[in-house]
Amino acid sequence: MGTEIPKEISSRFKFVVIAAKRAVQLQRGAKPKMQTSSTKWTRVAIREVEKNLVPFKDTFVAETIAHPKGRKKSKEKDKD
């Protein structure tokens, strides 16, 4: 089964990040944007992204990498 990456998404990496974020939304209770027989949220998310049903911003991936959740810069220098 081949995955069709929409031309609006410039790389496979972006596609994977967008689909992963959408799968998390679905797992947390978001309603699917299309009818599907699949019970796996990852497959539903991939299909939604393939059909351009998931809006995204171009800066989305860069922000996700630059500021991952749970990591904060320490303002204090190590004191040894």
pLDDT in tens, 37-76: 888 999 999 999 999 998 887 665 555 545 555 555 555 5
Task: Spell out the CATH class of 12-66.
Answer: alpha beta
CA dist list (Å): 74 to 29, 47, 77: 34, 40, 7
**pTM tops 0.85, yes or no:** no
Angle at 24 between CA 55 and CA 60, to 5 degrees: 40
pLDDT(9) > 70: yes
Query: Which residues contact residue 25 at a Cβ distance below 8 angstroms, ignoring those fewer than 6 apart?
Result: 45
